[in-house]
Structure 1
Amino acid sequence: MEQTNKEAAEETDNTPGRMPLNAGDTGYGSLPGPGLSGSVGGSESAPLLIPETEPVRQWQPMTKEELEVVAGGPGWRKVRCYLVLLFWLAWVAMLATSIAIIVMSPRPVVTPLRWWQKSLFYQLQPDLFMEKQAERSGGINALYEQLPYLKSLGIGTLILQGLSDKEASPLNFTATGERFGTLAQILHLLTESNKAGLKVVLDFCKLDLLGPQDVAGNTDEPSNHSVHHALRFWLKQGVAGFAICDTDAAYSEKILLEWRGIFKEFNSQELERIVVVKQSRDDRPPLNVTLVDVVMKSILPSSHHHLSDKEVANAIETHLQTREDIWPSWTVGGKASRDLKKLLLVLMMTLPGSPAIQYDEGIDKTQNLSLKAGTSQGALNKPSDTHTDKENAKHSAVALFTSLSRSRAREEALLYGTFTFLPFNSSSNSTLVSPSPPILAFLRSWGCVHFLILLNVGPELHALNPAWAPSLPVAGVFVTSTGMNRLGSMTLDTLELQPHEAIVIKLFKAGSYS
C-alpha cells in the first residue's frame, strides 16, 4: 500500500508542466534567509519583492501657475457654482423670513400729528412778567432775552395773556396800553418769537369780540367787520392762532365758521392757524370738532382755597377715567399745595394731549441768574442756607421740566401712544386714622414700549402691591421723578413711592431693553 502511494507521487512529480513539490531542492524560487544561505526556513519569511525606498517630499505651497491650472478644473467650477447658489438661496430665505415677521407682527397705526399736537404751550402774561423784571433787566427787554431760553427748554408756543384790557385791546391797533406798552412792542415781540422758533397764540378770552347786541341776538355789523379786520391784521403779523373761552359770545358755530374762512386765506404748509377754546365748565355742549382744534382743560376745579390731597386725587382720577373726543391741552387751573406742584407738572406732561404750562418762576432764567448773583454776593458775608436751598430748588425745577419735555419730544409712546388707566391697590405703611389717597397710575403704550406713570398724591409712603398688574413686565428703568433722585434699573415689586411723588418708568421685558 505504501509502495503504491509512493509510485503515484513520483508519477505526479514527473508529470510535464507541473512544478515539483520539492522545488527548493532543485534551486527554483528559493531565497536565503538572513544568515542562512539557501535554507528552506529563510525562504518562507523573506519577502518576494523588496520595494525601493523613495525620498520623503516636503510640503510646499502651490505656485501661481499651479493654482491657475487646478482652479480652472471642472471640479472647482462646480464647487464655486454650488457655493454661490447656496449663498443667494440663504440670503433670499432670510429676506423672506424678515418680511414675513414684519408683516405678521402687530404694529401700531401712525397718526400724523399737527404742530399744535406736538407743541408745548407756555401761558405768559407779558405785563406781569415785565413788572417782576423791571428792576433787574429793563422791562420788555427781559422778555425778549428769555425767548431763546424758553425754546431750549422744549417750549414751542406762547399764549400771550393780559392783552384784552380796555387800554390796549388787540382789536385796537392804535391804542397805547398803560400796562403792556405800544403796539410796536407787541409786534416786536411777535418778530422776536418767530426768530426764536416760537409760535404765538393771542388770548382773546373774556374780550367782547362781537360788540353790542340787540334783543334778538343779532350782532352789530360794523363791529363784526372790525373783528374780521383785526383777525386779518394779526394773522399777517404771523400769529399762529387765537384763544377764546367757552363762555364768550363768540363761542358759537356761526362765528367759528367765519373765523375758519379767514384762516384759509393765511394757512400754509408751514403754519396752520388754530382756535383754542378754554373750557370753564364740563357741562358745556360740545361744538363741531372741525371748528375747534384744541380744548384747554383744567385738571383741578377752581376754588378760593387750596384743595386737599383727597380732592386733588379725586379730580385727577376723574380726568383719567374720562375719554377725550377732541385734542386736549391740560393746565392745572385750581389751587393746590406747593408739595403737589411738581406732581401736577409730571401729570400734564405725560397725559395724552398738549400741556399748557402757566408762567413759572422756577424755570425763569432771569430769576435763576439773579439768585446766583445774590448767592455769590452773599458768599463774602457768610451766606445763609436759604440761598443755597432756593438755588437747588431752581436747578431741580429746571432739570425736571427739561427731562419731561425732552422725553415727550422723542418718545412716540408719550406723544401719540395709547392710554390705559390702571386702578390697583397699594399696601400703605401709614398708621394714620384718615385714609390716604391711593396711588394713581396710567400707562402710555406704543407697540412694545410702555411708559408707566405713578402718582402718590398723599402725604404717606406707599409700596406697590406685588399683584397690582400681573400682565405687565415688572422690570424697568427710571425716566424721571419729581425729586430727580431716581436713576437706573428697577423692579416694581420693590418700589416705594415717597409722599407727593410722581415717577415715570419705562418698562421692558426681562433680558431686553429698548
Structure 2
Amino acid sequence: MSTEVDLKDVELNEVDQEKQPMTGGDTGNGDASSPTVTEKNGMVSLTIPKDQESKFTGLSKDELIQVAGTPGWVRTRWALLILFWLGWLGMLAGAIGIIIQAPRCKPLPEMNWWNQGPMYEIGDVAAFSNDLEGLKGKVDSLSQLKVKGLVVGPIHKAPTDDIAELDLNSMAVSGDLVPFKALLEAAHKKSMKVVLDLTPNYQGQQRWFDNLMGAAEKLKVALVHWQKQGVDGFKLSGFERVFSLNSTLWDDIRTIALQPQEDKEGKEKERSALFGVTEKTSAEEVGTLLNSSGVDLLLSGVLRAANTNQSGQLLADAVEKLYGTLNQTKLAWGISDREQGHLATLLGSSGSGPVKFYQTLLFTLPGTPIFNYGDEIGLEDTASSKSPKMVWYSDEDAEKLNGTDKAEMEERLSVRKVFKALSELRSKERSLLHGDYIPLASSGSTLAYLRSWDQSDRYTAVFNWGPDEATFNLKHEQLPPQAKVCVSTDSTLSDMVDLQGLKLAAGQAVLLKTPYLG
C-alpha cells in the first residue's frame, strides 16, 4: 500500500510542476528565486488594447424605432422616394420619345402562297420523271430550290379535237389516283402547292373546242372532283375565249375554282388559285385582261416579246405600265413553258450565260417568276421535241464522267447554283418579295432598277443586252456610293462595286445589295 501511494504522489507532483510559475532562473546576481514573468507553463496571456475590446453591432430594434421617427430621417426618406420616381418617369419619357421618333414599320401587303416563290411547270411528267411516283421522289430536290408551286400537266385524257372522249377527271399518266395523292402529300409536307393544268383540248389548235359550252360544263365537274383530291389550284390556257364570248359561263367557272375547301378535320383551307395563260404580248391588253378576268396570276407573252427584241427600253416600258396599273401580286413573269419550249432554246444563244441572265431578270421583277422544268440547269429542247428528257446528276456521276460530259455537267450545275441563290434571296428578302419597283436607267440595250421595302436591305438589278461593255451611273436617294455583289454573270466584277461608273460586260447581269440608309 505504501508503495502505491508514493507512486501516485510522484505523478501528481510532476503534473503540478507543469503548472508552476515560469522563472527567469539565475539573473546574474545569484538570486534565482526572483520571478521575471507570471505566465504558467503551457499558457500565454495576451493583452487586448482597449479600443479593440468592443465592436459595433448596429442599432437594436427599439433604437431603430426611436430614430426612424426623427425629422432628419423622415426628410431623407422623402428625398430618396422623390428621386426614385423622378428617375423612373425620366426613363419612361425617354422610352416614349424613342418610340415616337423611331420610323414606323410599313404594313406588309397581302400575300398569297403563289407570291412566295417560283412556280415550276412540269408539262410532261414522263419526260421529267417517268411517272407520278418518280415525280414524288423529286419533290425534295425541288424544295431545295425554294419552289413554292408545281404546275403539273395536263395529265387528263383528251384526244385531239375529240370532245366526246374528253375526260377531265381521269389521268393519262396513271391508272388510279393513288400515286397522285401520294404526290400531293409529299409536296404539302414540303410546304409546296400543286396546281393542275386542266386546259380541255390542250393538244388541239382550239384550246376549248368549238363546242365551248360542252367543254365548260365538263370543266365545272372536274374542278369539284380535283378539289376534293386536294389540288391547290388550276391553270387554264386560252381562257380569254371563254371570258370574251360568255362572261356568265366564265364567272361560274371562276366561282367553282376559287371555292374554299375543307381539310380532313373539317377546317377551312386556303382557297384554290386560278392561273390564266394568254398569248397577248401588249402590256395594255394584258393589264386590261388581268383586271377584268379575276384570275390570280396571268401568264402572258410580254416578256417573250421583249426578249425577241432584246431591248431594255421595251421591257422597262412594259414593266412600268403593268406595275403602275396592277397589283404586283397578280403579275407573273415567264418565257418558257410546255408549248413554247425551254429557256435555253428560246434565248437562241449558246452557253449558260444567257440562261443565268434571264434567271436574274425573272427573279427580281415585281411579281411571280414561272419556269419550265429544266430551266434551272439550262436544259435545251431537242430537234423533235419541246419536252426533252430531264437530266439528273448524282455524286457517282461526278466521279464517273470525264471530258465533254463532265464539262457539260459542271456547266449545268453552275446554272442551278445561280438559280438556287436567286430563289433563296427572293424567298427571304422583303425587297425582292414584295418591295417597290423603282426604275433607275434604261436604254435600247440596258436596264437597271431598284427593289426596296421599308427598312430592309435594297437590291439593284442591272442588265446589259448589248454587244459592248456598258457604263452605268446609278443615283438615287436610297443608294450609297458602293454596293455588294450578290449574284453576277460577269466574272470580272469584284465583291464591292462603285455605283457611279459601274461597268458591265456585254450580255451580263448583276444583282447588287445595299443597306437601308435610314
TM-score w.r.t. structure 2 length? Answer: 0.68
Check conservation: 1:461, 1:499, Cα contact below 8 A.
yes
Q: Which amino acid aligns with 1:155?
A: V
Match of 1:261 in 2: 255
Match of 1:367 in 2: 391
Q: In the alignment, does 2:499 pair up with 1:481?
A: no
CA distance change for structure 1 residues 509 and 233 in 2, over 3 Å: closer, same or farther?
closer
Please give the alpha-carbon distance, in whole angstroms, between the structure 2 residues aligned to 1:322 and 1:508: 28
CA distance change for structure 1 residues 475 and 203 in 2, over 3 Å: closer, same or farther?
same
Check conservation: 1:210, 1:227, Cα contact below 8 A.
no
Please give the alpha-carbon distance, in whole angstroms, between the structure 1 residues aligned to 2:118 and 2:58: 71
**1:125 Cα deviation (Å)?**
2.1
Please give the alpha-carbon distance, in whole angstroms, between the structure 2 residues aligned to 1:62 and 1:164: 98
Match of 1:420 among 433, 438, 448: 438
Deviations 1:364-406 (A, max 9, x none): 9983524x4334125xxxx33x344334323322322222122
Q: SS where residue 421 of structure 1 aligns?
A: strand
CA distance change for structure 1 residues 362 and 406 in 2, over 3 Å: closer, same or farther?
closer
Check conservation: 2:482, 2:498, Cα contact below 8 A.
yes
Please give the alpha-carbon distance, in whole angstroms, between the structure 2 residues aligned to 1:485 and 1:388: 25
**1:159 Cα deviation (Å)?**
0.9
Please give the alpha-carbon distance, in whole angstroms, between the structure 2 residues aligned to 1:176 and 1:161: 10
Q: In the alignment, does 2:509 pair up with 1:506?
A: no
Q: Which amino acid aligns with 1:404?
A: L
Please give the alpha-carbon distance, in whole angstroms, between the structure 2 residues aligned to 1:84 and 1:62: 31
Q: Which amino acid aligns with 1:349?
A: F
**1:301 Cα deviation (Å)?**
3.1
Deviations 1:213-268 (A, max 9, x none): 4xxxxx55x65443221111111111122212346643343233102332454446
Q: SS where residue 122 of structure 1 aligns?
A: strand
Please give the alpha-carbon distance, in whole angstroms, between the structure 1 residues aligned to 2:184 and 2:491: 35
Matches within 5 A, 1:216-255: 220=213, 224-246=216-238, 249-252=241-244, 253-255=247-249
Q: In the alignment, does 2:360 pair up with 1:346?
A: yes
Q: Which amino acid aligns with 1:129?
A: A
Check conservation: 2:118, 2:368, Cα contact below 8 A.
yes
Please give the alpha-carbon distance, in whole angstroms, between the structure 1 residues aligned to 2:215 and 2:277: 23
Please give the alpha-carbon distance, in whole angstroms, between the structure 2 residues aligned to 1:468 and 1:261: 47
CA distance change for structure 1 residues 286 and 192 in 2, over 3 Å: closer, same or farther?
same
Q: Which amino acid aligns with 1:414?
A: L
Matches within 5 A, 1:41-120: 65=59, 73-74=73-74, 76-102=76-102, 105=103, 107-120=105-118
Match of 2:385 in 1: none
Matches within 5 A, 1:142-157: 142-157=134-149
**1:441 Cα deviation (Å)?**
0.5
Q: In the alignment, does 2:440 pair up with 1:445?
A: no
**1:183 Cα deviation (Å)?**
4.2
Check conservation: 2:235, 2:276, Cα contact below 8 A.
yes
Q: Which amino acid aligns with 1:373?
A: E
Matches within 5 A, 1:77-476: 77-102=77-102, 105=103, 107-130=105-128, 139-163=131-155, 166-167=158-159, 172=167, 177=172, 180-184=173-177, 185-205=179-199, 207=202, 212-213=210-211, 220=213, 224-246=216-238, 249-252=241-244, 253-263=247-257, 265-267=259-261, 269-283=268-282, 284=285, 286=289, 288-289=291-292, 291-301=294-304, 307=308, 311-324=310-323, 325-326=326-327, 327-333=330-336, 335-336=346-347, 337=349, 338-360=352-374, 362-363=376-377, 367-370=391-394, 372-378=395-401, 383-384=402-403, 386-423=404-441, 438-449=445-456, 450-465=458-473, 468-469=475-476, 472-476=479-483
Please give the alpha-carbon distance, in whole angstroms, between the structure 2 residues aligned to 1:411 and 1:487: 23
**1:484 Cα deviation (Å)?**
7.9
Check conservation: 2:487, 2:510, Cα contact below 8 A.
yes
Check conservation: 1:147, 1:193, Cα contact below 8 A.
yes
Match of 2:19 in 1: none
Q: SS where residue 472 of structure 1 aligns?
A: coil
Q: Which has the higher contact order (CA 8 A, sep 6+)?
A: 2
Moved more, 439-448 or 286-295: 286-295
Q: SS where residue 321 of structure 1 aligns?
A: helix
**1:443 Cα deviation (Å)?**
1.1
Q: SS where residue 513 of structure 2 aligns?
A: strand
CA distance change for structure 1 residues 227 and 361 in 2, over 3 Å: closer, same or farther?
closer
Moved more, 283-292 or 454-463: 283-292
CA RMSD of the aligned region, Å?
3.9
**1:289 Cα deviation (Å)?**
4.1
Overall identity of the aligned pairs, in %: 21
- For these two proteins, the number of residue pairs brought into alignment is 417
Please give the alpha-carbon distance, in whole angstroms, between the structure 2 residues aligned to 1:485 and 1:401: 20
Check conservation: 1:243, 1:276, Cα contact below 8 A.
yes
CA distance change for structure 1 residues 142 and 486 in 2, over 3 Å: closer, same or farther?
farther
Check conservation: 1:461, 1:498, Cα contact below 8 A.
yes
Check conservation: 2:488, 2:511, Cα contact below 8 A.
yes
Check conservation: 1:246, 1:279, Cα contact below 8 A.
yes
Please give the alpha-carbon distance, in whole angstroms, between the structure 1 residues aligned to 2:491 and 2:74: 72
CA distance change for structure 1 residues 461 and 96 in 2, over 3 Å: closer, same or farther?
same
Q: Which amino acid aligns with 1:92?
A: L
**1:329 Cα deviation (Å)?**
0.9
Larger Rg: 1
Q: Which amino acid aligns with 1:144?
A: K
Check conservation: 1:455, 1:501, Cα contact below 8 A.
yes
**1:361 Cα deviation (Å)?**
5.7
**1:153 Cα deviation (Å)?**
1.4
CA distance change for structure 1 residues 119 and 171 in 2, over 3 Å: closer, same or farther?
farther
TM-score w.r.t. structure 1 length? Answer: 0.69
Q: SS where residue 334 of structure 2 aligns?
A: strand
Please give the alpha-carbon distance, in whole angstroms, between the structure 2 residues aligned to 1:403 and 1:485: 19
Check conservation: 2:136, 2:186, Cα contact below 8 A.
yes
Deviations 1:315-334 (A, max 9, x none): 43333332342511100248
Please give the alpha-carbon distance, in whole angstroms, between the structure 2 residues aligned to 1:97 and 1:260: 51
CA distance change for structure 1 residues 506 and 65 in 2, over 3 Å: closer, same or farther?
farther
Please give the alpha-carbon distance, in whole angstroms, between the structure 2 residues aligned to 1:502 and 1:146: 30
**1:146 Cα deviation (Å)?**
0.6
Structure 1 unaligned blocks of 5 or more: 1-56, 214-218, 426-436
Q: SS where residue 294 of structure 2 aligns?
A: coil
Please give the alpha-carbon distance, in whole angstroms, between the structure 2 residues aligned to 1:483 and 1:64: 81
**1:162 Cα deviation (Å)?**
4.1
Q: SS where residue 286 of structure 1 aligns?
A: helix
Check conservation: 1:211, 1:224, Cα contact below 8 A.
no
Check conservation: 2:158, 2:167, Cα contact below 8 A.
no
